[in-house]
Structure 1
């Protein structure tokens, strides 16, 4: 038991470190693209253990604390240093700052594409029975899990909504269901129940769209859409909480222990619900990388989004916020963020999150 917990802790730590390193690599790649010198790309956090190698004027280092990584651009906060980040024009600084969060969002696209590759891509214009309730009209008519519904009376079925409408338009009346099983087309007659038992539905089936196998590459557009929808959900959280549409606890920030509790739960759920191996874990890390990317884009000083905000006056008005004031604001904000981080991690122990069983 304890060895399994240690393995899960290690898996989570490695996953988190990888997402942080990918974020920092986004900054690094953009800086190199814009000819901005990078003094160091560190794996882990200081103190430094060793310099692995030097390339293009950048030291690639191995550091003692293996919880992520960092990039140290030349002249990050001093515009008087040539070839440094602060001395670059605002468009280049903007590109470097946005590249980190974008790297995280791109990883989210790839992870969602991998999930779709494992579970299949839904075919939206087909409907398949995935469960038949015992003793229901569907069961008595001989319908089985896996059957494809083609017609309900004279209505051709082109999605789940069309079958719902056709069934509920015929409550209490004899209804013909035409379906396909093993390539053969059959028709049965049943009577949809006007008052079915709770959660059973009028004819007693659970239905879904069938899926088709797709490669990871072919699933990338669907991955982009999934990341967009996920990002939209995250960004609308505060508005929904203010409107009372969501409980504030649903948008609670989690520290390492909270994330570990969720990670354990998704692994257990994967086994209990017979989900293809790795799907829940991929979904968990997709959620983390998207959240990390969106969080860093928020206009909070010390985060990438806050630094982006300080480039806008220069881009729009041609006037730069004096670096000494900008650096002071980032420093104060960083101190506040560290206090928030401490509070969030303490809350995970004092008020653990409740997870559905």
Structure 2
């Protein structure tokens, strides 16, 4: 049960933060955000606030912000359509009844002759009761009513396509950016909670009944050399000790203002079938605010480089596609991480947030990176590409990504039963 809760919280947080970036920049640019969704597929929860419908959907494979003008509008009225019109106190159309007009007895039923809800905000139509022709003004906040569900119209200046390339690019880039920002925030929170691991080989804690305790190594000692070989980092120190199980080594340490030299034999332990040396000491952690904040950025950078390196190995064939994990694989890994403690779970969440940001920036159709490519081409050409052709490319890309997700998920399930 703990793993289920941890996974749902983690997935929800990563997708929420990502889509929140898209939503905030859409609203800042004046775009009409019709829906903010976590998950895909059937709705299991929905809540409308102002212009936007907030939903949680069944399939935990991502999320989206549906902005007017990014995709063809669901409701497309043509000449000859019969619709019902309701008016506000100023005589403007404030509701357009698309079907089930009998449920709206006060609506005026007309036959559309010409309709422009993008620029002019007018409807030219024949009144079916009086057989007279009228030109109606439409309020900017007018609603479509279809199957008794209300949807705001989207004047052109509220549509994604009406914005300049900078506004479009920032709105698309904001999602991945928020994932990197979340990772930085999580690493900073970890730093304040448990301290920041010191880069130098400084002893933080000495375990009782360990080789280090037997030779009076103390917390705060900084190892500067082993067997007359200079030690600059904690990683150097750990590697040297692990490679010499049972061998006596000579440590030179700074203790206050003096140098202390002692000899010690690392204990021999077995880890993953391999013998390694261990002194029984833990790393020193620092808690200076400046170090903690810097740690948030450096850890995010280091993780980004590691993930990019792994992606490069996938592209060059050094890693097989079997190395990829879908929702099932991530759930299984989360189960393992949860068992190791809360701090490791937070670090795992930060790493997945970076991974989500990077993957979304890949120049593939249907991902944010693919959309940024199209926006870049628009900037170079000086005019947008054909929306229908772009939509087809993104649809094909989305379909291929779903097929890849199914294949990866199948591999995840097979690994569970191996």
Tell me whether the two structures share a fold, i.e. TM-score over 0.5.
yes
**Which 10-residue stretch deviates more, 336-345 or 152-161?**
152-161
Which residue of the other structure, out of 52, 68, 82, is the alignment partner of 1:74?
Answer: 68
Q: Tell me if structure 2 keeps the 8 A contact 1:175–1:191.
A: yes
Shift in alpha-carbon separation, 1:191–1:209, aligned structure 2, 3 A: closer
Q: Tell me if structure 2 keeps the 8 A contact 1:127–1:157.
A: no
Q: How far did 1:25 drift?
A: 0.9
| Alpha-carbon separation, structure 2, partners of 1:163 and 1:235 | 28
Q: 2:20: which partner in 1? A: 25
Q: How far did 1:32 drift?
A: 1.4
Equivalent residue runs for 1:108-127 within 5 Å: 108-125=183-200, 127=202
Q: How far did 1:333 drift?
A: 1.1
Q: Does 1:315 align with 2:379?
A: yes
| Alpha-carbon separation, structure 1, partners of 2:346 and 2:9 | 14
**Which 10-residue stretch deviates more, 70-79 or 334-343?**
70-79
Q: 2:221: which partner in 1? A: 148
Deviations 1:227-259 (A, max 9, x none): 122122212224335667x5436x722222211
Shift in alpha-carbon separation, 1:241–1:145, aligned structure 2, 3 A: farther
Q: Would you tell me which structure has more helix in proportion to its own residues?
A: 1
SS in 2 for 1:330: helix
Q: Does 1:41 align with 2:36?
A: yes
| Alpha-carbon separation, structure 2, partners of 1:100 and 1:208 | 38
Q: 1:324: which partner in 2? A: 388
Q: How far did 1:143 drift?
A: 2.8
Please, what TM-score do these two structures have when normalized by structure 2?
0.65
Q: How far did 1:30 drift?
A: 0.7
Q: 2:6: which partner in 1? A: 11
Q: How far did 1:35 drift?
A: 1.9
Q: Does 1:267 align with 2:324?
A: no
Q: Does 1:100 align with 2:96?
A: no
Q: 1:61: which partner in 2? A: 54
SS in 2 for 1:348: helix
Q: 2:399: which partner in 1? A: 335
| Alpha-carbon separation, structure 2, partners of 1:297 and 1:174 | 49
Which residue of the other structure, out of 211, 224, 231, is the alignment partner of 2:304?
Answer: 231
| Alpha-carbon separation, structure 1, partners of 2:298 and 2:197 | 14
SS in 1 for 2:160: coil
Shift in alpha-carbon separation, 1:322–1:189, aligned structure 2, 3 A: closer
Unaligned runs of 5+ in 2: 74-117, 119-155, 242-246, 267-273
Q: How far did 1:8 drift?
A: 1.8
Q: Tell me if structure 1 keeps the 8 A contact 2:201–2:237.
A: no
SS in 1 for 2:416: coil
SS in 2 for 1:124: coil
| Alpha-carbon separation, structure 2, partners of 1:173 and 1:62 | 63
Larger Rg: 2
Shift in alpha-carbon separation, 1:177–1:48, aligned structure 2, 3 A: closer
| Alpha-carbon separation, structure 2, partners of 1:78 and 1:135 | 69
Q: How far did 1:14 drift?
A: 2.8
| Alpha-carbon separation, structure 1, partners of 2:43 and 2:250 | 73
Q: How far did 1:300 drift?
A: 0.6
The RMSD of aligned alpha carbons is 4.0
Deviations 1:23-64 (A, max 9, x none): 11100111112222222334665437544421xxx2243455
Please, what TM-score do these two structures have when normalized by structure 1?
0.74
Shift in alpha-carbon separation, 1:149–1:102, aligned structure 2, 3 A: closer
Q: Tell me if structure 2 keeps the 8 A contact 1:129–1:205.
A: no
| Alpha-carbon separation, structure 1, partners of 2:164 and 2:251 | 70
Shift in alpha-carbon separation, 1:319–1:50, aligned structure 2, 3 A: closer
| Alpha-carbon separation, structure 2, partners of 1:8 and 1:299 | 33
Q: Tell me if structure 2 keeps the 8 A contact 1:129–1:149.
A: no
| Larger RCO, structure (CA 8 Å, separation 6 or more) | 1
| Alpha-carbon separation, structure 2, partners of 1:41 and 1:165 | 49
Q: How far did 1:104 drift?
A: 1.1
